[in-house]
Amino acid sequence: MIGLKYPKLIILLFIVFSFSCNKNNDEIDDKPLAKVHNEFLYESDIKSLFNSNITKEDSIVIARNYINDWIKKQLMVQKAELNLNEESKDIEKQIEDYRSSLLIFKYKQELIKQKLDTVITDEELENYYKEYSGNFILNHNIVKALYLKVSKEAPEIDKLKRWYKSSDSEDLSRLEDYCYQYATKFDNFNDKWIPFNDLLAEIPTNIDDQERFLKYQKYIETESDLFYYFVMIKEYGLKSTVQPLEYAHLKIKSILLNKRKFTFIDELENTIYNDALNHNEFIIY
């Protein structure tokens, strides 16, 4: 490993730190910090690494790491210069192509940020879902569920069993109040679809035939040494069936936004081309 071994260099690093804390000090000469063959690294090359809040100790660590990385880079570049043939070293075109591609990409991204309409309406989502529903097939079972985990020492478990199954608003209010006081977990999962396996991972039970269970069972009640577990399955979607729109909507929204981006970019390129054509800004020979 390349390291900084000389006291003189450490002293220079302290000077760099002092310089970074007083950027208006023009009297300090730009001193070299490292050299690899004919290439030099100067104080001015690393002063941007520091700010007024950094300690001297941290500045030394940062500078040492930067200098070591710089040395390794210079050594690798010079090895490449020595060992690659002229054709392999001719990278000017690659650099220009990369620069052009990067500029175009940044320009497109900026225009997309400024001008692209990112609002996807419910109607657009529904229309796409109806037309391409076959593309949205579940690869696992999903559920909407209520999940409770309660200590065996909690009171009125019999009432809890009745409340969590009820659709009566008063019972649901009692259930909420009870769970805020006694439940270790009380989750409606924001009334969103979740993988059934994720729910089963929370409770000590084993269901071999999930499809059959979901079709014919609505409740799970089980226990461990310390807790009772209660689940009410509100809705379910089975593996290999079409995803509910509510479950697929984020993916559909992403698809529609990407399609809109491609259309926007295509129209942008055509507009720029046609405008340049009309103003005789290019010639095809």
Mind listing the pLDDT tens digit for each residue in 73-123? 889 988 888 888 877 767 888 888 899 999 999 999 999 999 999 999 999
219 — pLDDT class (breaks 50, 70, 90): very high
Which residues lie closer than 8 Å to 160 by C-beta, 6 or more apart? 148, 150, 154, 175, 178, 230
Mind listing the pLDDT tens digit for each residue in 146-161? 999 999 999 999 999 9
18 — pLDDT class (breaks 50, 70, 90): low
pLDDT at position 13 is 56
Mean pLDDT value of segment 209-227: 95
Distances (CA, A) of 182 to 165, 218, 227, 260, 272: 18, 24, 11, 50, 65
Per-domain residue ranges of the chain: 7-86, 102-136+244-285, 138-237
For residues 193 and 246, the answer to whether their CB atoms sit within 8 Å is yes
Mind listing the pLDDT tens digit for each residue in 166-204? 989 999 999 999 999 999 999 988 789 999 999 999 999
Mind listing the pLDDT tens digit for each residue in 4-14? 454 555 555 55
Mind listing the pLDDT tens digit for each residue in 29-81? 778 888 888 888 888 887 777 776 777 787 788 888 888 888 998 899 888 88
Q: Which of 132, 130, 136 has its CA nearest to residue 241?
A: 136
Higher pLDDT, 254 or 41: 254
pLDDT at position 94 is 85
pLDDT at position 7 is 53
Burial of 45 (0-12, 13-18, 19+ CB in 10 A): middle
Res 232 pLDDT > 50: yes
Q: Looking at this protein, which amino acid is placed at residue 179?
A: C
1 — pLDDT class (breaks 50, 70, 90): very low
Q: Which of 197, 199, 177 has its CA nearest to residue 188?
A: 199
Phi, psi of 165 (to 5 degrees): -90, -10
- As a whole number of angstroms, the distance between CA 89 and CA 82 comes to 10
Burial of 214 (0-12, 13-18, 19+ CB in 10 A): buried
- pTM assigned to the model: 0.65
Phi, psi of 221 (to 5 degrees): -130, 120
Alpha carbon 27 to its chain's center: 46
Class of domain 138-237: alpha beta
Higher pLDDT, 25 or 71: 71
pLDDT at position 26 is 47
Which residues lie closer than 8 Å to 240 by C-beta, 6 or more apart? 137, 138, 139
Backbone torsion region of residue 224, taken as left when φ is above 0, otherwise alpha when ψ lies between -120 and 50, otherwise beta: beta
